[in-house]
A and B are shown apart, each in its own frame.
Chain A
Amino acid sequence: DQQVKQNSPSLRVQEGRISILNCDYTNSMFDYFLWYKKYPAEGPTFLISISSIKDKNEDGRFTVFLNKSAKHLSLHIVPSQPGDSAVYFCAASVRNYGGSQGNLIFGKGTKLSVKP
């Protein structure tokens, strides 16, 4: 069973518009969430994270929203740029029970294509 789900395998957006990538999770023990971006032949690059005690975190063009009651988080990219074209992974972990941060559970990714 998938604990972290990204139901849209792909997303196409026009340059300058908003990109919204969605992620759902099932494990209510998750208390830390991250988004990674991955280009082909490279490792994932950390983008932004959010703790379960918050519902929003912003970093430049990237904002992550967390809705704990719905077990849903989303990544907003505004404005979208062609260089944002990549696969985006949502990840979650349990940190508050003496566990490590090593056990990230990843979604299967959403391929974002930003067209000029």
Chain B
Amino acid sequence: GDSVTQMEGPVTLSEEAFLTINCTYTATGYPSLFWYVQYPGEGLQLLLKATKADDKGSNKGFEATYRKETTSFHLEKGSVQVSDSAVYFCALSFAGNQFYFGTGTSLTVIP
């Protein structure tokens, strides 16, 4: 069935390090892809999205490119800050209402 697989966490980085969080998906069609961020004690916030192959979503220095050939949507940031410490979720959705979320990757950035 349709699903999303994220890299296992937790991830710990020093401030200004480069971040990659891997996300791959399994789908029978062409879904839209999303990254959400969850800060402690809060709900999920949309970080970025891409709706078709080769689209690049970007926001707040984060980027992810929809790669159909590798069924991937990896999240990257060139220089992380302490304030980026959170849990990151990859998700996919098809027409209709079903959303599929990954299990989340916890990121801690240390000064």
A, B co-complexed: no
